[in-house]
Amino acid sequence: MAAPSPAAPSSEAPEAGSKPLGSDDYALSRVPRDKRLGFWTMLLQWLAQSGSISQFTLGATIGVGMTFGGALLAFTLGAVILEAVIFVIGLAGMREGLATPLLTRWAGFGRNGSALVSFVIAVSLVGWFGVQNTIFGDSVSELAGGPSWLWCVVAGLAITTLVIFGFRYMALFAKIVTPLFFAMVAWSVTDALMHHSVTELIDSPPPGETIPLAVAATAIAGGFMTGAIVSPEMTRYNKKGWHVFVQGASSMILSEYIVGMTGVLLGHMVKSSEVSHIVLSTSGVFGVLVVLMSTAKVNDWNLYGSSLGVVNFFQVVFGRRLHRGAVTIVLGLAGTLLSAVGIMTHFTGFLSILGVTIPPIGGIIVAEYWVVRRMAKPLVETRESGKLPATSPAWVPMSLVIWAAAFCVGKFYDGGIPALNSLITAFVLYSVLGLLGWIKTYGTTNLEDAEPQDASAVRGTTLEGAA
């Protein structure tokens, strides 16, 4: 990951008269209550995460190795696990108005530990941004022609431009892309299935090598677990707790039951996981354009979450206040360049290891925020004021030990779902040790928050009227 250059020469927030490029999106403060977004706007953001050709491919891959009933059970297990994780972590983000990197300062890790969390999240997400950009470029090149690197550049620059301007423009884009994508997919899939008996496809045996239920559930739940852990990046813009639950559940229903199970049917129909051509070949140039936009809408969260992690990392480690928009430019260009030259695909093994590293972060957050409730208490006390606590713990060594232990469980234990194993291990260890009083903080740091706590003082950093 390329290190972004500081966007400002000091840790001070941009002055009122300055006009930095893009939106800072409250990278180092709470999202004010009056800046939260409505139910339907946020719902479309969640549903947009389901609008991906890769989810059809996942469904087809599972369908090739499972019966329709077996695949339905696998997707159910995956959906329930993911929704539970999204709700308990996302609700904390909604209540406090904080993204995951900043939340961890008071939810298990302390100020310095949050820098390590931020670094892991930032590297993982910008890495997957590049990998997914490469996959998209290769797929569109094969189906529509043109060099793969060119499609990587087009998609990467489009996503970077969108993310520079922040959450509100990403929400606006979701309102346009989400209905278009699912309308196009419904048309293409209906056209493909109308020449076959759906009942026969449902009753047909798996056309390929059998996939065990545990393996399928692992692919479903593990593939989106990192996204569930960083769900506060989105839910901090929610207004109510039930919004978080309903929107997350709606996304799971659409992603797993409708998109995923449709992919299972397509896999049974073509007896292969290669089903993306069904959508693209039916809808022509329009289909390629819509898939490009939907890819941007899904992959934008990787780049957005990475930018928030880098901002927190630099503020903690170097005392420098970077503007999120400037960080996005550097990360986006780096990820786009590396994907265009084909380097990112060589890092999928490393990124998969990070995929087991991130779930314990969620387990520790949930345990501290909802069970132990010692470090997180100042967050509750300052919530109504809209400000952050004046101080935070500097170090929580036991959290780092628990993190490492949970990673080992997820990485080296063969049973169950690795991402879930590591998350549950971290949750149980932190809860037990925390309630026994064995998790202690060392040192106290002043907030030194580069972003003003008074929302009215953030002029020039957040664009209005975009939603």
Q: Kindly state the DSSP code that residue 343 receives in the 8-state scheme.
A: -
At residue 417, the pLDDT reads 83
Question: 141 and 325 in contact (C-beta within 8 Å)?
Answer: no
Beta strands in 52-197 (DSSP E): none
- pLDDT at residue 355 greater than cutoff 90: no
Tens of pLDDT, residue by residue over 67-86, are 999 999 999 998 999 999 99
At residue 222, the pLDDT reads 77
At residue 330, the pLDDT reads 96
Rounded to an integer, what distance in angstroms lies between the CA atom of residue 129 and that of residue 103?
23
- pLDDT at residue 158 greater than cutoff 60: yes
Q: Kindly state the DSSP code that residue 8 receives in the 8-state scheme.
A: S
Q: Kindly state the DSSP code that residue 83 receives in the 8-state scheme.
A: H
Amino acid at 277: H
Rounded to an integer, what distance in angstroms lies between the CA atom of residue 146 and that of residue 354?
33
Tens of pLDDT, residue by residue over 248-283, are 999 999 988 888 898 899 888 888 777 766 766 655
The arrangement of secondary structure in 35-449, i.e. its CATH architecture, is: Orthogonal Bundle (1.10)
Residue scoring higher pLDDT (217 or 322): 322
Q: How many CA atoms lie within 13 A of 30 on its CB side?
A: 24
Task: Output the average pLDDT for the chain.
Answer: 85
Residue 459 pLDDT grade (very low, low, confident, very high; cuts 50, 70, 90): very low
Amino acid at 347: F
Residue scoring higher pLDDT (162 or 19): 162
At residue 461, the pLDDT reads 40
DSSP track, 367-401: IIIIII-STTHHHHHHTTTT---SEEEEE-HHHHH
Rounded to an integer, what distance in angstroms lies between the CA atom of residue 28 and that of residue 80?
32
Rounded to an integer, what distance in angstroms lies between the CA atom of residue 189 and that of residue 396?
52
Supply the pTM of this predicted model: 0.87
At residue 335, the pLDDT reads 92
Rounded to an integer, what distance in angstroms lies between the CA atom of residue 210 and that of residue 207?
9
Look at residues 351, 369, 357 and name the one whose alpha carbon lies nearest to residue 89: 369
Mean pLDDT of 430-434: 97
Look at residues 298, 294, 273 and name the one whose alpha carbon lies nearest to residue 185: 294
- pLDDT at residue 40 greater than cutoff 70: yes
Alpha carbon separation from 262 to 46, 60, 97, 258, 278 (Å, rounded): 19, 8, 36, 6, 12
Least confident of 11-15, 127-131, 226-230: 11-15
- pLDDT at residue 306 greater than cutoff 60: yes
- pLDDT at residue 465 greater than cutoff 80: no
Tens of pLDDT, residue by residue over 42-66, are 999 999 888 777 788 888 889 999 9
